[in-house]
Amino acid sequence: MKRKIERIGLFVKWFFASKTVHSAHSPFLYNFIKDVISNKKKPTHLDDVLNYRKEVLSDKSLIEVEDLGSGGQKQKIYKTNISKHAQNSLKSKAELRFFYNIINYLGVEKIIEFGSSFGVSTMAMSRADSVAKIYTIEGSENIYLYAQNAFKKMNAENIVAINANIDDVVKQKDYFSEKVDMVVIDANHTYDAVVKYTEFVKGLMSENSILILDDIHWSKDMNKAWRKIIEDECFTLSIEMWQMGILFTSTSFSKQNFKYRKLFL
Ligand SMILES: C[S@@+](CC[C@H](N)C(=O)[O-])C[C@H]1O[C@@H](n2cnc3c(N)ncnc32)[C@H](O)[C@@H]1O
């Protein structure tokens, strides 16, 4: 109940501060919104990923899940059914299309994803033509195994699935030996975790990378993390939508947080 009220407050504030594409003065931002964020075309490359998403959402089998710190579960390990768990964590079809489109538009080759869950978003990203490798990390072992099995079945050979707690990964500076073009953080939804994970991935990003933070209006805490991160000098342009935010490192943009009135439904 408290979280619901908090979210309504965040929504009202964001909605009235957000703008339409016509307020985007930079040509890059205007075209990016038109061609990527608001692109309504349905890529056929995603058909099997969307079928897999449907399968997961209707899978009534039980799974033992480890709560890694953000779900507010009473127990650390609990049993639930896959369908119920997926309903609370999977991206919408529109968000999956957006992921696919942004990668194609920017020609992203290497990606790190924090929070694979059942691997639906990972698989959607892996379908984009430019993608060479995606490292995706999931801490809950049974969920990781489920995703890994799906990656194999669907021949997603450009995905490197890792079963680890991200809190441990970010303690090891050299965990990843190469720079990446895109990072997606969609794991532990707490202020401390998001700020800490961002600090870690900054070291892996080049001058033309993007960071996508999910659920930036999920709670006051998550929104506080977003507000802190957009102030970081490492990021220039940021686009704040309802469900997620995108941050660019390119110095060819002037520093700006553009609140774009977009809900992925
Ligand atoms: C919202 S879901 C990810 C959804 C997925 N990206 C998608 O759209 O299909 C978040 C996932 O992050 C995992 N997670 C949360 N905290 C983690 C941590 N500290 N280490 C590893 N995984 C974590 C959870 O187990 C959960 O499966």
Of all protein residues, the one whose alpha carbon is nearest to atom 27 of ligand 1 is 117
φ and ψ of 90, to 5 deg: -75, 150
2-50+89-259 CATH fold: Rossmann fold (3.40.50)
Residue 71 pLDDT level (bands cut at 50, 70, 90): low
- For residue 251, the CA-to-ligand 1 centroid distance in Å is 31
Summarize pLDDT for 123-161 with one digit per residue, the tens. Answer: 999 999 999 999 999 999 999 999 999 999 999 999 999
Eight-class DSSP state of 33: I
Compute the distance from residue 113 Cα to the ligand 1 centre, in Å.
9
Ligand 1 pocket, residues with Cβ under 6 angstroms: 68-70, 89-91, 115, 117, 120-121, 137-140, 143, 165-167, 186-188
What CA–CA distances, in Å, run from 106 to 101, 103, 128, 129, 191? 9, 5, 11, 11, 29
* Structure confidence at residue 191 (pLDDT): 97
- Tens-place pLDDT, residues 216-265: 999 999 999 999 999 999 999 999 999 999 999 999 999 999 999 999 98
Q: Of all protein residues, whose CA lies closest to atom 26 belonging to ligand 1?
A: 117
* Ligand 1 atom nearest 65 alpha carbon: 25
Atom of ligand 1 nearest to the CA of 164: 21
Relative to the CA of 115, which ligand 1 atom is closest? 12
pLDDT, average across residues 194-215: 97
Region 5-31: what's the mean pLDDT? 96
Give the mean pLDDT of the chain. 95
Domains of the chain, residue spans: 2-50+89-259
* CA-187 nearest atom, ligand 1: 12
Q: How many other β-carbons are positioned within 10 Å of the β-carbon of residue 192?
A: 12
Distance of CA 238 to the CA centre of its chain: 15
Confidence of residue 74 (pLDDT cuts 50, 70, 90): low
Task: Give the other-Cβ count within 10 Å of 262's Cβ.
Answer: 20
The band of 70, judged by pLDDT with boundaries at 50, 70 and 90, is: low
pLDDT of 261 reads: 96
Where do the DSSP E strands lie in the chain? 62-66, 77-81, 110-114, 133-138, 159-163, 180-185, 205-214, 237-240, 244-248, 256-259
Listed residue (146, 142, 194, 191) closest to 170, CA to CA: 194
Q: CA torsion angle for 104, 137, 47, 243 (degrees, to 10)?
A: -70
pLDDT value at 98 more than 70? yes
